[in-house]
Structure formats: structure tokens, C-alpha cells
Structure 1
Amino acid sequence: MASLPASTPGSRSSSRRPSIDPSRLVPMDRTSHIGGSDDFNVVFVGAGNIMFGSPEGPWNHSFRLEHKLGPRLKVVALIDPAIERAAAVLQKKCDSFVVSAYQDTRIFKSFEDFMQQMSEKDRPRAVIVGSPPMFRGATTPGRDIEMQIMKHLPGVAMFIEKPIATGPEHEIPEGFKIGKMISEAKTICSVGYMLRYLKAVQMMKQVIDENNLTVMSTIARYACAYESIAKPEWWDKSKSAGPVIEQGTHFCDLSRYFGGEVDISSVQAHSLEWYENAGRLSKMAIDEEKIAPENRIPRVTAATWKYDSGAVGTFTHVVALQGHNYSCEFEVHADGYSLKLVNPYVLPVLYIRKPGDDNETTTRFADDDPFFSEISNFVDLIEDIEEDPESSTILSSYEDAVKTYEFTWAIRRASEKSLEAKAKASKEAADVAKNA
């Protein structure tokens, strides 16, 4: 009988990640703005939906910062090459009750322009980067905003949206290089994987940690409402890098958060493509004919992999629902335990089954705001609030986010390889039949 491999040293702790006591994740409407009287200067990079909100989703970093910092918030610069759009969102802010944060905000086309005109009184304490991921996460000029910030504003904290990039796969090592530079410089940097800050997610971590559990399996499913996705770029792999990398990244990140590091070589995946019979969609908001056939996104991607710990993970991303609401679920299984998170984006519900009871307990989180929690913890670290170090913790570092980015690329590449293998096998079979 073959001998079993020895357990990997430290495999039990490989899935351990920074966590926060869920009782400390307080809804925004139950908090007061942070104390102090000095100005808290901030630079916004990007004037789009992530920064200022839209009807399509709950994101809006400016709104959370306004509540967290109150009258201390001073947005000294708004950087976006689309000057008219930047001016429009800025005017709305100046016409509102938060005018004190924006009345002196200056608009710049680029970070370089801002640095050339920045006075010492405008030096920011934080830079919030919400520009499209295709313009960041690399070391090439024009896509190296993180390196530019560290070069010109050493020590200034950064908040970077996810995914860290949507460039070509061969640039992934550049992301790791940037992550190493940030770490070695001890720069405070948080990446916007806000689902890690869900109260339900932290309750799941608490159950795992308190019971010293080893995760056996993670199961993730993400079905988006494609009818409401009207951005042509999202449907174009050459711009968005595809739905797993651009959208499914949140659930791939949750998978790593609970399962630990992924054995990238073990990733396998299959996809349903737009040209296959089952991949035809009836209510698209964009004209896909304007997108080159080779750049059109898959309708389904299903992946499996092994974690370094030995655990197994699965993820299925589906472009199939109409209407507006998405359908998303995430499960974690360990000896005697089942933890299932449902509908994390809108109204999170957590189902927990424990040893000794075949029934699940159900907890609903009607007023949770992970966007506020991630911003709140980010600001607390900048302010160096020491009352309880555990209450202000970055749950997603840049280096960690690059690993998620690498993982999502591995899933995309595995699905493409399976298509290539299928096409090759079909061609070989046709050649055999032709020569028979």
C-alpha cells in the first residue's frame, strides 16, 4: 500500500488571515465622525462611480470618507483626465452640505500635474485610487500610479481599488514588485476587497479561529445580472480582462481568505463561450457585434483547485441572470461545520451548521456596510489610534491582492487551455475521419 504524504508543516495556519472582531464592525449610521480639529487632506484619483457612487451599486468612497472624517475632510485634488466629468461631480459636492470638504478642491488631468503644483499645505495624508484597473498595477509609465505616489509622497497612505490591474498576464510579476516595495517602505496600503470586511465574513472567521478548524473546502458561486451591465468595456476581454478577473475576483479573494494559498499549478477550468448554443444571451444592454469575436467574454467559467493545505476549492461565475439583482453564495466546510454566506452584496445572510445539530442557525445582517468598515479601518491606522490595535486592521494588503489577481488569471488561462485542447481534439478527430 502506498504511503501517505506527511502533513505540510504549518498547513493548519496557512489559511489564517488577519481578522477583526465582528462586534467592532459598526454601521455608519451608528458612528460619529472621528475626533480632532486638524484638516485631513485627501487626493482622489478617479472621478467615476467607485469614488462618487452610481445607481448601479453601493460603492461610493467619498460618501464614507465624509462620514468618517466629518469637517476634517479636505479633498485637495481630484485627478481624472476626463475634466468635464470631474468638474460635474465636484460641483454636486459643492452644492451640498459637504461643501467644506470640496470648496478648495483642484482638478488635474494627471498625478504628475498635481505634484508639479502641490503646495506643502496641500500635502495629502491619503491617496484614494479609484481609476480603472487598466491604468494601474504595473511599472510602465502611465500605469504606475502606486510607484509614483511612493516616489513623490513617501509615507502617504494609499487605498487602491480592486482588482489591482487588468493588464496582460505577463505583467503579474510587476504587481508583486510593487507589493514588495509597498511592504518594504512600510506604507499603509489597503486594497478594496470589501467582502472581507463584511460582519458575516468576520463571524465566519471567528467560528473557524475559536474552534481551531482546518478548512476542507470552499465553494463559491457568482451569477451576475447581465441585463444591467451597460459598459461595453466590461464585455471586452481586451479591456476588462474578463468577468472572473474583473468581477469574480471578490469571490476568488474570499476563497483565498478562508482556504489559504492556492496551488496555482492545480487550477483547472472550463468555460461556456458566446458562440456556443447555450451561450446565447437575449437581453444584452450593449451591441456585442462591435467587440472583436476573440475578445468577447465567456458566459460561464467553472474552476477547481487545490490549496497548499490540501483543501479543495471550486468557483463558478455565470453571466445569465436578467433584471438587477445578482445571486451569489459562498460556502466553507470544515470537520463538523458548514458556513454558508448568501447574498453578500445586498442583504447578507449567514447559515451555520455545527456539530451535534443537523439544523442551521440563520443570521441576517440588514444594516452592514463593508465599504464603510474598510475605509474606517484604513483611516484609523493612518490616525494611529492605539486604544485597541485589533480594531483597526488592514484585511487586504497589496501583496495579498496581487496573489488574488494571479489566481484569477490562472482560472482564465486554464479555461482557455481547455478550449484549445477541445479544439485540437476535434480537429484531430476530423482529420482521422477524413483520412479513413
Structure 2
Amino acid sequence: MKDIILKAENISKQYRLGQVGTGTLSHDLNRWWHQVRGKENPYLKIGDTNDRSTKGESDYVWALQDINFEVERGEVLGIIGKNGAGKSTLLKILSRVTAPTTGTIKFGGRVASLLEVGTGFNGEMTGRENIYLNGAILGMTKKEIASKIDEIIDFSGCERYIDTPVKRYSSGMTVRLAFAVAAFLEPEILIIDEVLAVGDAEFQKKAIGKMQDISRSGGRTVLFVSHNMAAVQSLCTRGIVLENGRIVFDGVIEEAINRYMLLDETDESYPKTFDKDSSVFGNSIVRLNSVDIISTLKENFFTIKEKLNIRIDFSTFKDIENFNLAINFKSFTDDVIIFSQITPVKFSEKGGYVSELVIPENFLNSKMYTIDLHFVCNNTSLLTINNVVNFEMVDFRDGINYYGVWAGYVRPNLKFDFDRKLNN
């Protein structure tokens, strides 16, 4: 039996654009008239999809539509998506900051949330006083809070300023203290928005380690929203991808991140070919014409057992001495997996060129990759293009997609020689 601690059923949230409130008096009267007759709110049938890039036709927009998911006790769930996808709206509903337009949420424990810098803190009160205030909001006694207060202060790193009003804290200090309060006062469900990005690298590392500890050893549940895919991957076991207010994927975190990375891909034949506007991907010295990933399959992925040919077509408009082309293969967390470059050309006449790089079979792991290109002259950059093309490697075994997870980004077939050692 699953131990479900949070269940969201048919959650939708509608907003009216441009004004505060539900709309005009006539709209409110219309809602009331339908309600007293036992009929559905008429404005639930109208409204545009949550797409921030389009103008839309209605004054109403659905920030979220038909959201359904369950979270097990002790699970760490990552909620990812582009800006405006509905992530923060969902967390505000889960934190009871705002109510859903339709749907219900069932909780199996106390909820603590970090949604914005300073949320839940009184700026006129000291850090110490705010710790007691937040603990009381979470339903803890003064004695329970006092038993944890030294750990909270030590973890936050704000001991010197703990008796200073919070309004004098920097945003980073405020987040440090707020996270320490939420983590150490032991809520069953901890909800964290992008606020950790405000903290420095040292604190982010501590915070992620603490969230891992409380989920694994404490059995507490964490809902985590971030655009830092490295943090999401290291912390979460499962991911939900939101797009235009709807869940488009719910599953293993690595597959969720791969799906998130593909949200901007509009070409369904997908990223085997690059062909961009030369005015953007070039200058008066060099221009990238195209990038092709050539393989034996005609699919939107490549298998780990096939050789890939990366074909780069470019033009130079001036004679260039000591010309060089470098290519980075990166992970979705921006880690460089492979760095390669063509042998520097002592003198290159202007004109069109094609460079080809071969990635051997059984080398890249079954993950998502992206490519950066660097055109260089005498160690000076002429043109850099990041994320030129994305591609995915897939592990096929006997014609079946294998969903097991292997560590690392490269998995070459290394030959191991060993001899049996005979005991005398």
C-alpha cells in the first residue's frame, strides 16, 4: 500500500488579467445568480490557456488546468517548467496562500513553505522572535521550538544578527534563516520555490544536503521548484513537468529533465539538423550555416551502439591566421562532457568550409546532450554559439528501450584483462 501524504485532484486556477478582483459587478452578480440556482460558475467555461508568449482573446486566463498527482511520504518531487508555466501558482495553492478555482487537495501532515524571500517573516521582529513565530504557525509549542533553536541559528549562519530586526537582513540572510526554520521545525511536507537561488553556493549546498537528509532519514516529503537542473537532479527522485498550466510529464527525474529540455523544440523531426538565421549566428568574420548529426537511424534519438558524425558547415569572410574550431558536448546541467577541436589551421582563406567530427559507438551514455561551438583565431574568440543542437542517446536492447539508469555521461567499452590467481 502506498503511503500518500498529498493528493491533488482536478486542480485549476483562473485569473482575470489586468485588474485586481474577480471582475465587474455584473460578473459577480452573474456568478451569484448561477450559484443560488445550483449551477456552475459561467466563467469556468471561458478563458485562454496559460501561454505568456501569446496575446490571447479573453480577459480570463487559466494559470493551471486539470492538475492531478499524488506524493508519497518521504518522496522528493521536483516541479519544473519554463517561466510562467504555473509552478509558483501550484505551490501557492499547495501552501494554502491562495485557493484553487476548482479541485481539492488532501494533506496528511503539516506544511511549511518557502515561496518568496521574507514570506512569513515580520520585518520589525528579530530573527529569534521570527523563529518562535514561525514555529507557532506550524503548531509547535514554545518548548519544542526552544529545543531546536540553537540548531536553527547555527545552520543559518546568522548568529551575529539573530537579535537584529529582520528588515535589516539581506535577502540571502533572510532565506538562510527562513530555510533553517522550515527544515528544523519538522513539518511533514516542505515546499520550496526558487528562493534558494538567492543564497550563496555554500548555503545552496548545505540546503540541498539538509533536504536529502530530512527526506531519507526523517521520512519527510519535499516539493522543490528550481531552474537549476543540477540541483533538481541531485535532490529529486521524481519530476513533474508543467507547460502552459498543464502537466505534460510525470515520472523519473532524469526523464522529466530531458522532457523539460525539449520544451523549446518546435521541429518534430528534431534536432538532427541546425539551420539558423545567419544574421544572428554569424558576424562580418565567420558565419555558421548548418550543423547535422548524421546516423543510420531516422528517429528523434540515437542509440548508444551507433557511430555519430557531427557535420559543421560554416563560412569565413576574411583571411584568418591560426584559425581553430572547438566543440563542447555538454550535459543538461551545463557540465562539459567532451571538449574537442580541429587542428589549428596556420592560414585559412575566406570561403566555405565543412568540418566533421566522429563520435564512436558505445561511448556516450543514454542521456540528453547539447553542443556549443567556438570559432577562434589566435586564442581570441571570433564567434561562440551555445546550445546549437540538442540530441538524445538511447539504450536499445534487443529492440526494446532500456529504462535502467547508468551513472555518468560516458560509458565506453573498456577491455579488462584479468587472470585467475591460483593459491599455492
Say yes or no: TM over 0.5.
Answer: no
Structure whose residues are more often helix by fraction: 1
Using CA pairs below 8 Å that are at least 6 residues apart, which structure has the higher relative contact order?
1
Which one has the largest radius of gyration? 2
Q: What is the TM-score when the length of structure 1 is the normalising length?
A: 0.26
More strand by share: 2
- Normalising by structure 2, we get a TM-score of 0.27
